[in-house]
C-alpha cells in the first residue's frame, strides 16, 4: 500500500475541517454582532413608539379639553342658510355632508353612536379610524383627519366656511 495515497487525503480533510471550523466561528461572531445591532435598533424603535403613544394621549386629552371649552353656544339649524351656501337641501345632522363620508360610512358611525354633527366634531381621528377599520378593509383607504373639523363647522352653522374648505379638499383629505 502506498502511504502518500492515504496520508494526503486524511491531511487534506483535517485541514479543511479546521478551516471550516474557523470560518464558522468568524461568521457566527459576525451574526451575533448583527443580531445584537438589530435588537438594539428594535429596542430604540419600541421606546420611540412608546414615547409617541404617550405624546398622542396627552395631545388627545388637551384636544378634548379644548374642544369642550371652545364649542360655542348651539346655533339652531337653519336649512335655508345651508341651502344658500351649499346649493343643496340639507337635513340636520346629516353626516354625509362631510366630504369623504357616504351612506355606508354614515351607517357605521351611527352604529358606533356618532349620530350628530356634534358627536362627530368631538370624536378623535383615531376613534373614527378605529370605526372604519372595524368596518372592514373596504374602508381602510378613507382618511378621517378632516371630518371632525367639517362636522364642527356644520354644527356651528358656518356653511360658507364649510363650503369653501370642502372645495379645497380631495375626498375629505387636505
pLDDT at 172: 47
> Model confidence over 128-148: pLDDT tens digits?
999 999 998 888 788 999 999
pLDDT digits (tens, 9 = 90+) for 20-48: 988 887 776 666 677 788 889 999 999 99
Boundaries of every domain in the chain: 1-70, 75-168
Q: Which residues of 85-119 are buried (b: 16+ CB within 10 A; e: fewer)?
A: bbeeebeebebebbbbbeeebbebbeebebebbbb
Cell triple for 47: 421606546
> Does the pTM exceed 0.75?
no
Amino acid at each position: 500500500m502506498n502511504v502518500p495515497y492515504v496520508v494526503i487525503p486524511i491531511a487534506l480533510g483535517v485541514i479543511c475541517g479546521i478551516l471550516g471550523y474557523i470560518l464558522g466561528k468568524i461568521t457566527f461572531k459576525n451574526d451575533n454582532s448583527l443580531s445584537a445591532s438589530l435588537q438594539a435598533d428594535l429596542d430604540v424603535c419600541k421606546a420611540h413608539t412608546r414615547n409617541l403613544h404617550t405624546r398622542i394621549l396627552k395631545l388627545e386629552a388637551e384636544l378634548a379639553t379644548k374642544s369642550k371649552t371652545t364649542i360655542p353656544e348651539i346655533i339652531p339649524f337653519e336649512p335655508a342658510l345651508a341651502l344658500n351656501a351649499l346649493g343643496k337641501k340639507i337635513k340636520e345632522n346629516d353626516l354625509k355632508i362631510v366630504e369623504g363620508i357616504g351612506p355606508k360610512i354614515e351607517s357605521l358611525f351611527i352604529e358606533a353612536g356618532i349620530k350628530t354633527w356634534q358627536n362627530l366634531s368631538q370624536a378623535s381621528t383615531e376613534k373614527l379610524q378605529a370605526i372604519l377599520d372595524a368596518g372592514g378593509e373596504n374602508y381602510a383607504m378613507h382618511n378621517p383627519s378632516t371630518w371632525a373639523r367639517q362636522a364642527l363647522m356644520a354644527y356651528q352653522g358656518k356653511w360658507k366656511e364649510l363650503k369653501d374648505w370642502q372645495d379645497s379638499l380631495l375626498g375629505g383629505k387636505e
